[in-house]
Amino acid sequence: MSKLPRSFYLRGDVVTIARELIGQRIVSNIGDERTTGIITETEAYAGIDDRASHAYGGRRTARTGTMYLQGGTAYVYLCYGIHHLFNVVTHEADVPHAVLIRAMHPESGLEVMKARRGSTKLTTNGPGTVSQALGIRTTHSGIDLLDDLLYIERTGIRIPENDIRTGPRIGVDYAGPDAALPYRFHIDPRQLP
CB of 160 to DNA, least distance (A): 27
> How far, in Å, CA of 132 to CA of 143, rounded?
17
CB of 173 to DNA, least distance (A): 9
Residue of 27, 20, 37, 42 lying closest to 158 (CA atoms): 20
Find out whether 45 and 31 touch, Cβ atoms under 8 Å.
Answer: no
Nearer to DNA, 4 or 55 (CB): 55
How would you write 106-171 as a 3-class SS string? EEECHHHHHHHHCCCCCCCECHHHHHHHHCCCHHHCCCECCCCCEEEECCCCCCCHHHCEEECCCC
What is the contact surface with DNA in residues (CB under 7 A)?
Answer: 43, 45, 52-55, 59, 61-64, 67, 75, 77-83, 85, 87, 98, 100, 117, 123, 126-130, 138, 169-172, 174
CB of 132 to DNA, least distance (A): 8
Nearer to DNA, 11 or 126 (CB): 126
Nearer to DNA, 11 or 51 (CB): 51
Nearer to DNA, 1 or 16 (CB): 16
Find out whether 84 and 131 touch, Cβ atoms under 8 Å.
Answer: yes
CB of 68 to DNA, least distance (A): 12
CB of 64 to DNA, least distance (A): 5
Nearer to DNA, 32 or 62 (CB): 62
